[in-house]
A and B are shown apart, each in its own frame.
Chain A
């Protein structure tokens, strides 16, 4: 009998070990070339928080003398390497100029920085975070690096609350970014406040040239993601005449599982249509 129990335990261990090994082997992350990465911190006097920033430079940054477009990446601590590596490969594939990727790391709780209104103790900091990006971070990047300084040359990329922040920036200060990659955006937040803000500012924004990519996971069925996503897409589609607009639903993938595939597809759309 003891032998049978031992075998059961061994079977369990073998199965768990196999699952774990497959999990770990699939979680290898490709680090972006350190020689082309610059890091620094920037303290925001207005917020009182220090943000870690990483900048990914194109390979020909020092030799070409050209000015580059920029992609500002929210949740940068998580997504910097993927975005930087993907931009490099897409630039090579399409023979298009690469971009400078600016990763904004965490200074304080992301749910504060990325949400537009206060619904609790850890939300509602998006207005001052957008002001920080606009008045402090972008001027520093544009002063220290060879980058374009036009609205059309700037992109913001965010996932979940980060996507919500992109929708907020789109609505209330459309002059900062000309391109928006919003992935699984939390448009449901505070009774769809970002969509209400879009409606309020539509007259000012609807004739401006811009690019928007929206992505989501098909399996995001938690009862609040899909309908606002579709409604927002339809609003943009019906009301913005000079917009390059696309959406993507990743088959069978959930909120986090769809993130990286949608980052790649969003950047792909950007490189093809900017």
Chain B
């Protein structure tokens, strides 16, 4: 946990430092409030389908606040394997974050530290004719925090948006092998969408 604390402190320091640097950006497209619905996948071979939305508010040019919501249909291609049926499998993530935005001529880049929760629910049933049927239901809340990068391209009210999220929970990794971050690695989200400038 010590390393994690250092990581967050370092990122927070960087964000605050850059956010407070109000340098002039003559060609920037500054949007104060945007809504950015999108679709995406996790990096577990693309078996999860995500419906997401990012609401971003820039109280100042550099400083950004955001809310990210994601509804995930998980493991959509393997719903009946070897007599194991997936009855349902979904998760909902809600995160809030703060960060900083950089501007270029026709686009902007936002880096955010996000924190929130994840609700997971899935049910599997074993229906092998040679064995007694057994169902398992797992659902519950867990923390969700990590780093988000959001890219916005376009000058008009509607614009293209791309974002990716790297979850840092569960942490610390409980093992000596780099493969032990499989839960984090497989939950990296890649999302595309259309953004709307509200203000």
Binding site for B on A (CB under 8 A): 1, 4-5, 7-8, 11, 14-15, 18-19, 21-23, 25-30, 78, 81-82, 188-192, 195-196, 199, 217-219, 221-224, 226-231, 234-235, 249, 251-261
Contacts and interface: CB of A to CB of B under 8 A. Distances in A.
Given A221-B75, A230-B134, A256 B179 contact: yes
B83 A191 contact: yes
A226 B78 CA distance: 14
Given A19-B7, A27-B177, A252-B142, 19 more contacts: A11-B18, A15-B11, A18-B10, A19-B166, A25-B3, A78-B177, A192-B82, A196-B131, A199-B131, A221-B74, A223-B75, A223-B81, A224-B78, A227-B126, A228-B84, A249-B138, A257-B174, A260-B175, A260-B180
A234 B126 CA distance: 12
Interface of B: 3-4, 6-7, 10-11, 14, 18, 25, 27, 74-75, 78-79, 81-84, 86, 89, 102-105, 109, 111, 120, 122, 124-126, 128, 130-132, 134-136, 138, 140, 142, 147, 166, 168-183, 186
A218 B138 contact: yes
A251 B173 CA distance: 13
A189 B126 CA distance: 13
Contacts of A231: 126, 131-132, 134
A8 B109 contact: yes
Chain B interface, >50% SS class = mixed
Nearest to B178: A27
A221 to B, nearest CB: 5
Contact of A226 (B27, B138, B173, B180): B138
Nearest to B179: A256
Instruction: Find the residue from B166, B176, B178 having the highest chain A CB count within 10 A.
Output: B176
26 contacts: A8-B102, A11-B18, A14-B10, A15-B147, A18-B7, A19-B166, A19-B168, A22-B7, A22-B172, A26-B171, A26-B172, A26-B173, A27-B175, A27-B176, A27-B177, A188-B84, A189-B82, A195-B131, A223-B79, A223-B81, A223-B124, A230-B134, A251-B142, A257-B175, A257-B180, A259-B175
B9 to A, nearest CB: 10
Nearest to B89: A221
Instruction: Find the residue from B7, B79, B182 having the highest chain A CB count within 10 A.
Output: B182
B133 to A, nearest CB: 8
Contacts of B84: 188, 223-224, 227-228
